[in-house]
Amino acid sequence: MTQDNSQLMDGSVAVEDQPLKKLYIETVGCQMNVLDSEMVVASLRRQGYELADQLESADTILFNTCSVRENAEEKVYSNLSKLKKFKLAHPEKILGVMGCMAQKDQQIVFDRAPYVDLVVGPGQLHRIPELLTRIESGDGSQMAVSLGRRDGSQEQIRRSHETFDPLRDPSMRPTPFQAYLRIQIGCDKFCTYCIVPMTRGPEQGRPPELIVEEARELARQGCKEITFLGQTVNSYRHVTGNHKTELADLLEQVHEIDGIERLKFVTSYPKDMTPRLLQTVRDLPKCSTYLHVPAQSGSDDVLRRMKRGYTTADYYDMMDRIADLLPDAAVSSDFIVGFCGETDEDFQKTVDLVQRCRFKNSFIFKYSVRPGTRGADLYEDDVPDDVKSRRNNELLAVQNAISQEDNLKFLGQRMTVLVEGPSKTSVKRGETGPVRQMMGRTNCDRIVVWEGNERQTGNMLPVLIHDASSHTLFGSVETMEMTPSVVSLPTMT
Ligand code: SAH
Ligand code: SF4
Ligand code: F3S
């Protein structure tokens, strides 16, 4: 396809007579990776790329990877080996591996898949356009990775992990009116099981003025909901001279921006859930009352070996503070089951913690040894896989029962939902035209579905809840109760 001097979606202009190149990008891992992929696409659009739906039709294929557990990595290597024949049959196509596994494995990626052209760590993504040009001009395979945690001065290491966040591409977002905004790079907590401090480098709070400007740009693009991202997002701090900015200050500043209607932040660290932050969330109406604060385990022995930096008593104190200042908040957690030395008694304490804290939901993972972490050196991965699976299922069942029970409390309530779009279920024909099952989220991050239509997408709607499962609330939209911004919508009852 050729396009002359035409406007691309991000407002950039394709170079005259230069055919558009096609990019296929596949993303796994956390929200950081989703955001990184958005930025890489934005930067490559400026180089005349457009997105391909199919891998086979792309000129450049990128895998954005995650290293947090072994199976996430093995999936990528297996995808790469499936692509070997294809790549050898089409040597002109560029195959790249970016993200955390690229940073962690570096040369190993080329060793395991020698037909890969490009390896780029998450701190070097801004170099992708230049590296692709080099590959195209015949310079051979290229690698750009950040410095290891001991491979230079603190300043050099930090610089090598910088990001290029202001480039945004609405078409790459989960929806155009919801966006992630990174406020913090890296992590310094060094939990003994975790690879992230190695792949994402030292913790750095991004300058507040850049964050606020980026939030303004997102609002100009029509974004209504911003989720601040950081590995320990509530530990965010930025100091210039005598002036210190914390997460609460950022929330206050971004709250002022017209067009932004909802603010969230993930992932929080239990020790830094301060009264001031909770009060700020309480007092700013745009702040979502949803807190993701992983506990990881309910056993103090396990928490100590994980080097999480808190005890269960500290965690319970934090839950009391939340209950006191934000009684309606929904709290969710992550857990690792089968960490080194975890006994049945330790596991039972985790079950007890889940029962006492009554999380909205929990993400539960089986421990996966990560070479390069302290945990891999210090402790033996001694819990058999079948025990890990059993504990995983048991904890999930306990959590699901709690989620189901707590969701029933919303029956008969009217909840304001930001409509994200059609849910995955099929289109039905209704009396007033095509009726779809729509999906959105409440202020406390609960998923709601109802029968509506696609014109509702992007609006805040009041939904009356009449049924609930452990993961979903089911409701209906009462047209008489609509908020002014949606009054003009056709009736659909
Ligand atoms: N920064 C976040 C978590 C990032 S990783 C935090 O501190 O909470 C996301 C989740 O993956 C973690 O909360 C943890 O539960 C899980 N995880 C991290 N390393 C893991 C490992 N080696 N094996 C299994 N799960 C792991
Ligand atoms: Fe990993 Fe711990 Fe940092 Fe979270 S806080 S990213 S679990 S080291
Ligand atoms: Fe995975 Fe990297 Fe995120 S290891 S969880 S993609 S920070």
pLDDT tens track for 236-266? 999 999 999 999 999 999 999 999 999 999 9
More confident residue, 174 or 1: 174
Give the residue with greater pLDDT, 31 vs 164: 31
C-alpha neighbours within 13 Å on the C-beta side of residue 23: 26
Ligand 1: centre distance to CA 451 (Å) = 36
- Token representation of residue 119: 């390896």
Distance (Å, rounded) from C-alpha 218 to C-alpha 433? Answer: 33
The SS3 of residue 226 is: strand
- The pLDDT tens digits for 199-221 are 999 999 999 999 999 999 999 99
pLDDT in tens, 282-323: 999 999 999 999 999 999 999 999 999 999 999 999 999 999
Which has the higher per-residue pLDDT, 370 or 168? 370
What is the C-alpha separation between 118 and 143, in angstroms, rounded?
6
For ligand 2, is residue 336 a contact (CB within 6 Å)?
Answer: no
**What pLDDT was estimated at residue 174?**
78
Query: In angstroms, rounded to a whole number, what is the distance separating the alpha carbons of residues 245 and 276?
Result: 13
State how beta strands 178-182 and 225-229 pair. Answer: parallel
Mutation pick for ligand 1 pocket among 70, 334, 369 (CB with most ligand atoms within 8 Å): 334
Q: Which atom in ligand 2 lies closest to the alpha carbon of residue 267? A: 4
Beta bridge partners, 263, equal 226, 287
* CA nearest to 254, candidates 221, 205, 213, 206: 213
Q: Which ligand has the minimum distance to the alpha carbon of residue 267?
A: 1
Rounded Cα gap, residues 295 and 229, in angstroms? 18
**Domains present along the chain, CATH in parentheses:** 2-149 (3.40.50.12160), 173-288 (3.30.750.210), 292-408 (3.30.750.200), 414-476 (2.40.50)
- Residue 238: strand pairing partners: 245
68 Cα to the center of ligand 1, angstroms: 7
Quick check: CB of 193 below 6 Å from ligand 1? Answer: yes
Stretch among 148-152, 292-296, 368-372, 484-488 having the lowest mean pLDDT: 484-488
Q: Is 33 in the pocket of ligand 3 (CB under 6 A)?
A: yes
Distance of alpha carbon 208 from its chain centroid, rounded? 21
Q: Report the pLDDT value the prediction gives residue 114, as an integer from 0 to 100.
A: 97
Strand partners, 96: 62, 118
Pairwise CA distance, residues 11 & 17, whole Å: 18
- The pLDDT of residue 168 is 83
Closest-CA residue to 358 (of 331, 393, 325, 390):
331
pLDDT, tens digit, for every residue of 69-82?
999 999 999 999 99
Select from 188, 232, 293, 373 the residue to mutate for testing ligand 2; criterion: most ligand atoms less than 8 Å from CB: 232
Which mutation among 26, 27, 31, 32 tests ligand 3's pocket best, with the greatest number of atoms within 8 A of CB? 32
CA of 373 to the centre of ligand 1 (A): 12
Is residue 179 within 8 Å of 219, Cβ to Cβ? no
* Alpha carbon 351 to its chain's center: 26
C-alpha torsion 462→466→469→470, nearest 10 = 50
Q: How many residues are listed for the chain in this entry?
A: 493
Cα separation, 205 vs 255, in Å, equals 19
DSSP designation for 298:
S
Alpha carbons 424 and 230: distance in angstroms, whole number? 29
Q: Counting atoms of ligand 1 from 1, which one is nearest the CA of 193?
A: 22
Angle at 146 between CA 142 and CA 148, to 5 degrees: 125
Q: How far apart are alpha carbons 144 and 117 in whole angstroms?
A: 12
> Which one of the ligands is nearest to 32 CA?
3
**H/E stretch holding 420:** strand 414-422
In this structure, what DSSP letter does residue 470 have? S
The 3-state DSSP class for residue 196 equals: helix
- Per-residue pLDDT band for 17 (boundaries 50, 70, 90) equals low
